[in-house]
Amino acid sequence: MSAKVYINKIEKFLPNNPVSNDEMEAVLGEINNKPSKSRRLILRNNGIQTRYYALDQHQNVTHNNAELTTLAIKKLVGDDFSLNDIEVLSCGTSTPDVLLPSHAAMVHGLLKNKSVEINSPSGVCCSGMNALKYGYLAIKAETANNAVCTGSERVSTWMMANKFEAEIANLEALEEQPILAFKKDFLRWMLSDGAGAMLLENEPKGSLPLEILWMENYSYAFELETCMYAGGEKMEDGSVKAWSEFSTDEWKNESVFSLKQDVKILDEFILKKGVESMSDALQKHQIKPSDITYFLPHISSVFFKDKLYNQFKDAGLEIAQEKWFINLPNVGNVGAASIYLMLEELYHSNKLKSGDTIMLSVPESGRFSYAYAFLKVV
């Protein structure tokens, strides 16, 4: 595989107007008609100031996931590229609109262009990076000249009060036990909607092509149990019982389709395995932290930023904080789309110059997976 791969365009679509911290509960709704007791604490820790929802002020849906993704892709179109030029369409998301057909198929249906190769990586945040890697490898293997790769989420409808009440089985217990409230309530104040799209081609084009030098993925599912999940229930032994093994009554009573996260193992392993995998990736490609011009880590909360920096430093992998580029406070945690939104903002910031390098770092707490990409400005 000798072909080179370049990101020649990056675009995004964020629905509606930004939603401030004080407006969130008005959009998502109050559970049991009571304001959340944990919201302010969680927002103070995660550092998010604004986010985007595919909902209007009356909780009406304005876009589904496939529509968000399609709108981002259409912004790639220009005099030198049309929807009919797409050869590979690779779309990653944690929150597809339907179980079947695949997310990429639903996006392709909205594009209405021509027959293309499609790919739909599943998973959580790494699904966006896996979509990128599929396009990268297709061009690298010379089976395609271009690929459109996307990361997107439409999670707001999962977080609306009328869905979330089933997750809160015992409101009185939540009020009496703040730690339980945090575990059950905190995802409502962490996640948001949006989509990013990249055009990959086998030759550099435009004013700012980025060459993908390498990509690496790591999974620790062989040794760690599930952390974030939906469509099942975690058992006492750490296994997950699938939604199809529950009765239809249990789907609601057991909150089977709610998004959940085991906060205890998240805190114990997410940074530790991140440092381990980052070290392995850098060693494999003989890259030193000093070789990185910009470091773009997907973090779910600003709470983790200093902790991650210090763990890198303790491991001899210190990346100077002035090299870090994060837009979490302004766009929120958009899961599979977050790394696309970070790179898009940096790409259009007028900061990049020829020779600069960019390290993309995406952790996934589903069962602890990590994805990396190393880019160079041509």
Query: How many percent of the chain have pLDDT more than 70?
Result: 94
Whether the pLDDT of residue 181 is over 50: the answer is: no
The neighbouring-strand residues paired with 233 are 241
Mean pLDDT of the chain: 93
Q: Does domain 212-222+261-377 have CATH number 3.40.47.10?
A: yes
d(CA 347, CA 335): 19
Asked if 336 and 247 count as a contact pair (C-beta separation under 8 A), the reply is no
pLDDT of residue 11: 98
The Cβ of residue 316 has, within 10 Å, a number of other Cβ atoms equal to 8
Give SS3 for 112: coil
pLDDT of residue 166: 54
pLDDT of residue 34: 83
Asked if 254 and 182 count as a contact pair (C-beta separation under 8 A), the reply is no
The Cβ of residue 287 has, within 10 Å, a number of other Cβ atoms equal to 17
What is the CATH code of the structural domain delimited by 6-208? 3.40.47.10
pLDDT of residue 254: 79
> What stretch(es) of the chain map to CATH 3.40.47.10?
6-208, 212-222+261-377
Whether the pLDDT of residue 191 is over 70: the answer is: yes
Task: Tell me 81's DSSP state.
Answer: B
Question: Tell me: the pLDDT tens digits for 49-105?
Answer: 999 999 998 999 999 999 999 999 999 999 999 999 999 999 999 999 999 999 999
E strand or H helix at 331: helix 328-331
Q: Give the residue among 342, 334, 333 at the shortest CA–CA distance from 361.
A: 342
pLDDT of residue 198: 99
Whether the pLDDT of residue 178 is over 70: the answer is: no
Give SS3 for 68: helix
| Tokens at 194, concatenated | 């949006």
Residue pointed to by tokens 């979490």: 328
